[in-house]
Structure 1
């Protein structure tokens, strides 16, 4: 309830902002894009970006990222720091 007197003037000020000019909307009356078979799309794609080792490189990168995520799931504070902070909080110094 104490935040309400602060938020009300801010919300009121946001209502006074001018609406941004976004310009005219694109014409939607044209024909929709045609769907192409996947073979045609792949034939038009530039070659040389994906090689035989791309899959192996992506699997290795995924394994590294999963390992990093696993390491980040541990505690942030070591036990000594946690105990020191808990003591400071209990003493009223935090």
Structure 2
């Protein structure tokens, strides 16, 4: 089936989906929700200052330091040349196409 013939079919599917009814959400609330008071709004700055800064346990800090050092060593190992001198010489030579007899 050609792609162009699918366009009207997809359009009809979209129209059929648009004609459906939305489900009722009134029954999904608990009985006291409608009469409950609104929550109080508080400034965000006060909430952020009230929390102490997170601290790492000493054993966790040791593990994190070891992991960071391993990642630094791995990054340093990846800093070398990607192409060695032999491959670089072959690439600098370019591509030599073979002669085709009778061409």
TM-score, normalised with respect to structure 1: 0.45
**Greater C-alpha radius of gyration:** 2
User: Whose RCO is larger (CA < 8 A, sep 6+)?
Assistant: 1
